[in-house]
Structure 1
Amino acid sequence: MRGLRVVARRPRTPNAATVIRLIASWCLSYPDDEVLGRVDLMRAALEEQDDPRATEPLRQTIDHLDGGEPDTLRRSYIELFDLSKRHTLYLSYWSDGDTRRRGTSLGEFKQAYRDSGFLVDLHGELPDHLPVVLEFSARADPVRGVELLEKHRAALELIRFALLDAGSPYAGALGAVCATLPSPSPPDRATAMAMCAPAPTETVGLEPFDPRLLPIDPTRA
């Protein structure tokens, strides 16, 4: 599994929004055996929530994971999220593209994780990978997590619109996440694009960045 990312050493009392974000984090992760083994848990947790704006779309994604053949789910996930940038889950790509400026954005995610006092193990992912951000928001630091999600709200909405265009059940997970945030969703793609700085399409190379380097002060964890 592109798996457990946040080691939460201080207990957090979950609320509806954090439960939804944690389920969405699992739903948007690579569907290995560990993720698929959580389907019943995800469904049970979802049944305890009473916000249909979030629960109904998220249920569509859970049903997709529950009803699919594992190898087919994995191939489809790779084709949808890994082999095309049209639906990429790397949030800063939507605003910065493959430019040097993206290194600064990645550093902001890294700094937020460091400042939280929690150990964030990325397991080789970049820090702006949406399942990582969602799990951080749900399990470690909801305030900083929501700040990151709101700052990259345009990216969330553009991913949602792209997945809707593709007819993907993963769009439900994005819709559920957006429903947990304090600001309203834009009415259409054009509005979402206007919220986001234009992303250059030409690749000029990123600043050197090692996603494994997330120094945490262990005395604060």
Structure 2
Amino acid sequence: MKTLKVLSAILSYPSAELVEAADELREVLAAEAVIPTAEREGVLGLIDEIASGDLYDLQERYLLLFDRTRSLSLHLFEHVHGESRDRGQAMVDLLKLYEEAGYSPTASELPDYLPLFLEFSATRPAADALDLVGQPGHVFAALKERLEKRKSSYAAVFAALIALSKAKLDETALAALRSEPDPEPDDLAALDAAWEEEEVTFGPGAAQDCGKEGLVAKLRHARRPAPGVAAPAAQGPRVSITTSPASRN
């Protein structure tokens, strides 16, 4: 599904190549027409901003939003596991999923980086891609709300992902995300507090605190190999992208 590739590109760090590709991005969205009209108009508006904006300003805005503010991180597991010890294993599991599907990331980003996750999803059959993208729907909903609060056009991408996947949101997980700090990028004290390393617990009881529940427990569908790629000999570990208080301690 090329639309997911477009959304991946838009969420990537602004570059001259992205600006030059604006017409092509619009054409793909129009040709596939899988995003509902209202949400698609929002995405097209963001593409227009990128195409007409000053590249330096675009890059500065992007960094303030997604790199400086932890609550807007584009790394999915930041919103799922925080600094808990589950995060490293989740990264390994997600990378294993990519490899088993015949996808070899070329970027130097971590496997949970959202543009990379969307790029991988774009390689899957349409039904599997939408199922996969729908599973972190509560994370997308939280990011959309936080971006809307800042009147950022990037909120349109998350609105499109939710509408495209028809995700049934995990209200408990979404409530947990809503309760977390969401400081502005110019509130340095609040940013420092938000980025403080969370305690990692070990010893008795730690296993219960680091449970692997199933936002991507349904990933068996996404494990089907891409067209022309042989099926793997054995099933690898499942990936968990879920948000719960227990998994972040």
Fold conserved between structures, TM > 0.5:
yes
- 1:147–1:184: structure 2 CA closer, same or farther, 3 Å change rule? closer
- 1:23–1:172: structure 2 CA closer, same or farther, 3 Å change rule? same
Q: Return the TM-score normalized by structure 1.
A: 0.73
| Whole-Å separation in 2 of the counterparts to 1:128 and 1:181 | 18
- 1:47–1:145: structure 2 CA closer, same or farther, 3 Å change rule? closer
Partner of 1:31: 14
Q: CA RMSD in A?
A: 2.9
**Alignment partner for residue 2 of structure 2, among 2, 15, 19?**
19
Corresponding pairs, count: 187
Q: Name the SS for the 1:65 alignment partner.
A: helix
Task: Report matched runs for 1:61-76 at 5 Å.
Answer: 61-76=46-61
| Whole-Å separation in 1 of the counterparts to 2:98 and 2:73 | 21
Partner of 1:114: 99
| Whole-Å separation in 2 of the counterparts to 1:162 and 1:102 | 23
**Alignment partner for residue 175 of structure 2, among 176, 184, 194?**
194
| Whole-Å separation in 1 of the counterparts to 2:168 and 2:148 | 18
- 1:86–1:203: structure 2 CA closer, same or farther, 3 Å change rule? same
- 1:72–1:167: structure 2 CA closer, same or farther, 3 Å change rule? same
**After superposition, what is the alpha-carbon deviation per residue over 1:61-120, rounded to whole angstroms, capped at 9, x for unaligned?**
212212211111011111111112121111111111122111122122212101101222
Q: Are the equivalent residues in 2 in contact too, given 1:20–1:54 (CA < 8 A)? A: no
Task: Report matched runs for 1:125-140 at 5 Å.
Answer: 125-140=109-124
- 1:111–1:143: structure 2 CA closer, same or farther, 3 Å change rule? farther
- Give, in angstroms, the shift of residue 153 of structure 1: 1.9
Runs of 4+ in 1 over 3 A off after TM superposition: 140-148, 198-202
Q: Are the equivalent residues in 1 in contact too, given 2:133–2:161 (CA < 8 A)? A: no
Q: Are the equivalent residues in 1 in contact too, given 2:111–2:117 (CA < 8 A)? A: yes
What is the identity, as a one-letter code, of the residue corresponding to 2:8?
S
- 1:204–1:126: structure 2 CA closer, same or farther, 3 Å change rule? farther
Q: Are the equivalent residues in 1 in contact too, given 2:20–2:51 (CA < 8 A)? A: no
Q: Which moved more, 1:48-57 or 1:170-179?
A: 48-57
Task: Report matched runs for 1:78-97 at 5 Å.
Answer: 78-97=63-82
Partner of 2:88: 103
Task: Tell which structure's C-alpha radius of gyration is larger.
Answer: 2
Q: Does 2:119 align with 1:124?
A: no
* Aligned-residue identity in percent: 26
Q: Which moved more, 1:30-39 or 1:45-54?
A: 45-54
Runs of at least 5 residues in structure 2 that lack an aligned partner in the other structure: 181-193, 201-228, 232-249
**Alignment partner for residue 45 of structure 1, among 11, 14, 28?**
28
Q: Are the equivalent residues in 2 in contact too, given 1:81–1:87 (CA < 8 A)? A: yes
Question: Which of 1 and 2 has higher RCO (CA within 8 Å, sep 6+)?
Answer: 1
Q: Are the equivalent residues in 2 in contact too, given 1:100–1:204 (CA < 8 A)? A: no
Partner of 2:151: 167
Runs of at least 5 residues in structure 1 that lack an aligned partner in the other structure: 1-17, 206-218
